[in-house]
Amino acid sequence: MHRLILFRHGKSDWDASYGNDRQRPLNKRGERAAGTMGIVLRQMGEAPDRIVSSTAVRAESTAEIARLAGGWSGPLELSDDLYGASPDEVLAVAARHGGSAQRLMLIGHEPAWSMVTTQLTGGRVAVPTGSVVGIDLDIDDWSQTAPASGTVAYALHPRMFKGWDL
């Protein structure tokens, strides 16, 4: 059994000064959400074994903040292939980077995250900014993912933890 964890980047700052879409940073709410989800996943025992993030600034920042807040020890890799990816391209990234990880986290964007969730589980799950979806896959290797082969283990949004003492 493997678990694919899809983490959508936190809220971005549309008012910030940036050159192109890849350079758009997180806003304060996005930063808080990333930290919250890092802590929540650690407390759930769901810290990823390996993390692969889109190279977009908002995604990479989400990865770094969550990793530090959660004290995750899994290595972080960056992949240009997650920016603007189709569901098949996302799964190809998982196959290339998953290795021996039991819990692989990909950090990226919509609409790919909702589409991948639908493709792997046959059901629709909304993935708003800062949300995390864990999908259980009955596979031995990351290259074996197939449509409707997974089950949603959890779908978490940072607002679920507002006011909690994390």
Q: Is the pLDDT of residue 130 over 80?
A: yes
**Confidence band, pLDDT 50/70/90 cuts, at residue 146:** confident
Task: Give CATH superfamily name and number for 2-161.
Answer: Phosphoglycerate mutase-like (3.40.50.1240)
- What is the mean pLDDT of the segment spanning 55-59? 97
- What is the mean pLDDT of the segment spanning 99-116? 97
> Who contacts 76 (Cβ-Cβ below 8 Å, separation ≥6)?
51, 52, 53, 63, 64, 67
Share of the chain above pLDDT 70, in %: 99
**Confidence band, pLDDT 50/70/90 cuts, at residue 83:** very high
- What is the mean pLDDT of the segment spanning 133-141? 96
> What is 27-47 written as a DSSP string?
-HHHHHHHHHHHHHHHHTT--
Q: What is the pLDDT of residues 5-54, one digit of tens each?
A: 999 999 998 888 888 889 999 999 999 999 999 999 999 999 999 999 99
What is the predicted pLDDT for the residue at 142? 96
SS3 content of the chain, % helix, strand, coil (to 5): 40, 20, 40
What is the predicted pLDDT for the residue at 147? 79
Q: Is the pLDDT of residue 155 over 90?
A: yes
What is the predicted pLDDT for the residue at 108? 98
Closest by CA position to 68, among listed 39, 96, 94, 44: 39
